[in-house]
Amino acid sequence: MLEEKEAKRRILDAASPGAVTWIPLELTLDQVLAQEVTGSVDSPPFDNSSMDGYAVRAAECKTGDSLQVNEEVQAAGLDRGLELLAGEAIRIFTGAPVPAGADAVIMQEDVSREGNVITIVEGVVAGENIRRRGGDVCAGQKLLERGDIMTPARIALLASQGIPEVAVHGKPLVQIVTTGDELVEPGAPLLPGEIYNSNSPMLQTAVTGVGGIAVASHAFDDPEELREVLGAALAAADIVVIAGGVSVGEKDFVKEVLEELGVITEFWKVKIKPGKPFVFGRHPDGTLVFGLPGNPVSAFVTFHVFVAPVIRRSLGDSPEDAAAGVGRTSVVLDEAVENTGDRPHYFRGRTENGKLKLSGTQQSHAIFGLSRANCMLRLDPGVKVEEGTTVKVVLI
């Protein structure tokens, strides 16, 4: 049985970033930038008002001074090329270009107006309420680096530079293949002996959650059908994730069918609980193949530990970032936890206000406990951690 660390290393060694594609900005959320971005224009591109008020010369705006309001108005939009004459104020609105000759904007709340004359209630100083050209970003400034993760704010930054699309690594197409004669899709009635297929929607959304594109199919425990379904999956997808059928039962045909289809088994069985029956293989055309245990909790844990990093690596994360996972945090144990087994154990737990409790039964079919969990605590074999100890957990 392979050590978990070695299994992870071999899996990540086999993974690489996907081809670079240019995609519209609004479709890049959470993706990894495959290019550096440098500012091409100053932002703001022109001096503009940050308030609704009057463009003025600050020196003419002491409390009690009066100014004649020009009949032209400068609103946001087209720069009307207005020029402020001595003794005058020009009505201006937020975002509008500041007229030549003005050096401040006085808020409308700070003047009183009668007809076309304003009287200053509260004076301004030069520069007040003006957002200077290039005050946020200067042309030529480095804005984002290769490897940066796209967030809504970074998307806004690039949009503000007039950039409609950026280079990212293409999302991997991940085919989920569930297996089992006992499985029924939610929505259909259950016959005696059947259970609902919970792995398929769980794994599809887990794939989407880390940034891949998921498609799903199902095969009964029949070599013929498995050959057809897995053959189609291998032809279509970058990564194939199979759930169930990889153990030692008489109906577990996945391994032999994969081999018939040309997949080279890199390893089978990893020292990790839950999740021992786990297959990693590679097809000569580059498709990576994972066979996860059928038990939903085991499938969930092995997906997070072994498959999610490969999806992040395909998206362009460095091997280190991909291996590190989405997030870790330190919490204080609210109860003692012990791994009495001989494999590293990923306990599922719930942290609230910095405290960690295990979330219900830790059996590998128990989805309710999993649904209550928001993190996993990994303990090596034989390790006992006492209540009150600070431990690191992986957020899920």
d(CA 109, CA 343): 70
* Binding partner at 198 among ligand AMP, Mg ion, none, C-beta below 5 to 8 Å by kind: ligand AMP
Q: Which residue is nearest to ligand AMP (CB)?
A: 294
**Locate tokens 């900005």: which residue?**
25
Locate 79 and state its tokens.
């720069």
Closest approach, Cβ 362 to ligand AMP, in A, equals 16
Contact flags string 104-133 toward ligand AMP, x per CB under 6 A? ------------------------------
CB of 157 to ligand AMP, least distance (A): 42
**Which of 43, 178 has the CB closer to Mg ion?**
178
**Minimum CB separation from ligand AMP for residue 327, in Å?**
27
Of 145 and 256, CB closest to Mg ion = 256
CB of 192 to ligand AMP, least distance (A): 14
Nearer to ligand AMP, 227 or 365 (CB): 365
Residue from the set 7, 207, 243, 310 that interacts with ligand AMP by CB under 6 A: 243
The answer to the question of residue 293 lying near Mg ion (CB under 5 A) is no
Residue 293 touches which of ligand AMP, Mg ion, none (Cβ within 5-8 Å per kind): ligand AMP
* Helices vs. strands in the chain: H and E counts, helices first: 9, 27
296 near ligand AMP, rule: CB under 6 A: yes
Q: Is 244 in the site for ligand AMP (CB under 6 A)?
A: yes
Give the contacts of 207 (CB within 8 A, at least 6 positions apart): 174, 176, 213, 214, 241, 311
- Asked if the peptide bond before residue 293 counts as cis, ω within 30 degrees of 0, the response is no
Question: Which residue in 147, 249, 341, 381 binds ligand AMP (CB under 6 A)?
Answer: 249
The CA distance from 338 to 335, in Å, is 10
Structure tokens at 80: 């009307």
**Which residues contact residue 78 at a Cβ distance below 8 angstroms, ignoring those fewer than 6 apart?**
none
CB 155, CB 28: distance < 8 Å: yes
Can you give the length of the chain in residues? 396
C-beta of 294: minimal distance to Mg ion in Å? 5
| Amino acid, single-letter form, for residue 343 | R
State which amino acid sits at residue 122.
E
Report the distance separating Cα 330 and Cα 392, nearest Å.
4
Q: How far is the CB of 346 from ligand AMP (least distance, A)?
A: 17
* 295 touches ligand AMP (CB under 6 A): yes
Q: By CB under 5 A, what part of segment 177-196 binds Mg ion? A: 180
What is the CA angle 186-190-192, rounded to 5?
150
Q: Is 97 in the site for Mg ion (CB under 5 A)?
A: no
Residue 295 interacts with which of Mg ion, ligand AMP, none, CB < 5 to 8 Å by class: ligand AMP
Eight-state DSSP code of residue 60: G
Contact 364, 293 (CB under 8 A): yes
Residue 289 backbone dihedrals phi, psi, to 5 degrees: -125, 130
Residue 303 CB, nearest distance to Mg ion (Å)? 17
Amino acid at 350: R
Q: Spell out, one character per residue from 168 to 197, where the chain touches ligand AMP: x when CB under 6 A holds, - when not.
A: ----------x-x-xx-----------x-x
In Å, how far are 18, 140, 174, 211, 339 from 307, measured between CA atoms?
A: 15, 39, 10, 12, 24
Nearer Cβ to ligand AMP (89/258):
258
Q: Which residues pair with 217 in a beta bridge?
A: 177
Return the bridge partners of 188, or none.
Answer: none
Q: In the window 210-249, what residues touch Mg ion (CB under 5 A)?
A: 244-245
Which of 18, 212, 274, 294 lies at the binding interface for ligand AMP (CB under 6 A)?
A: 294
Q: Which residues bind Mg ion (CB under 5 A)?
A: 180, 244-245, 294
Q: Which residues bind ligand AMP (CB under 6 A)?
A: 178, 180, 182-183, 195, 197-200, 243-245, 247, 249, 293-296
